[in-house]
Amino acid sequence: MRGEDLENRGGGTGEVKSRANNGSYSLSSSSYMIDDPETRWTSWLVPVFVVANVAMFLVAMYFNNCPKHNPGNCVARFLGRFSFEPLKLNPLFGPSSSTLERLGALEWTKVVQKHQGWRLVTCIWLHAGVIHLVANMLSLVFIGIRLEQQFGFVRIGVIYLLSGFGGSVLSSLFIRNNISVGASGALFGLLGAMLSELITNWTIYTNKGAAMITLLVIIVINLGLGILPHVDNYAHIGGFLTGFLLGFVLLPRPQFGWLDQRNLPAGIPVKTKYKAYQYVLWFISIVLLIVGFMVALVMLFKGENGNDHCPWCHYVTCVPTSRWNCDKN
């Protein structure tokens, strides 16, 4: 079994790049959204997602079984086979990179050369450690529950899953030497959807200027944290862009007072359900989503390296400083 060091980014394919968010999403959960008294769903899908992620982490720890391959060096040995890898191998209190790889972590070689495309989805449900898991699940609860209450489980579930997939695709295009796990690509998708929802429903909100500034600050901070080592910012950006476009498609609200027009006498002109700019944004977003996914997937499975087409893009996931070095993926 390999014993890759999570703190060494110059290493081999077993190194884990976590999709971490450091919990900053929580600030955006109520920054601008308003309650709709006409429609309010009960949130159940987001709690199911949280349970599924926790369950997958427990499964990973069960299969990892640190005492079997690393006796005497495990952290929290009283947990038995659920004890954590030594901190020098995994500072996030979790399983080994080889265990994550076995269970479906994202790795370019296996996705492209061994045709294991399912890893583009399974990696979303795996986490590198307890710290990684807790940060992502708290963010999912703060953002996801409110969004699901506002828009229902179908739309939010679609945004979450497609954003996670979009993040995995972009990550695979640029990262070849490390494995990647985590749900924060999907979480960035929810954050992107919040931004596009504010834009497409601009006319029905109050305090929208302050809301826009608050949301943009949160987005910039979270993406800025992605330039730190061991964080897969490609997954964040891919998830954010996917969710941003999906928000225009799935989250437009009808014009103010549109529902009340159903009771008007016959012959009185009725407004269209959505404004013209909402239809335009919907159409543009649909086209960009279809074209974007098609181009990205064709490039990926043809073995294209995104860094060949964008030589400076490696800076979006790690900026070298005097404190750390960045390997060039």
Based on its alpha-carbon atoms, the radius of gyration of the chain, rounded to whole angstroms, reads: 21
User: How far from the centroid of its chain's Cα atoms is residue 140's Cα?
Assistant: 10
Cα dihedral 139, 93, 170, 237 sign: positive
DSSP-based three-state secondary structure for 85? coil
DSSP string of 105-131, one letter each residue? -B-HIIIIIS--TTHHHHGGG--SSHH
* 157 and 43 Cβ atoms separated by less than 8 Å: no
The Cα 4–Cα 94 span in angstroms is 13
Q: Determine the Cα–Cα distance for residues 197 and 113; give it in Å rounded to an integer.
A: 38
- Closest by CA to 158, choosing from 245, 218, 280, 29, is 245
DSSP helix, strand, coil percent of the chain (3-state; round to 5): 60, 5, 35
Active site residues: 184, 236
Pick from 246, 319, 312: nearest CA to 284: 246
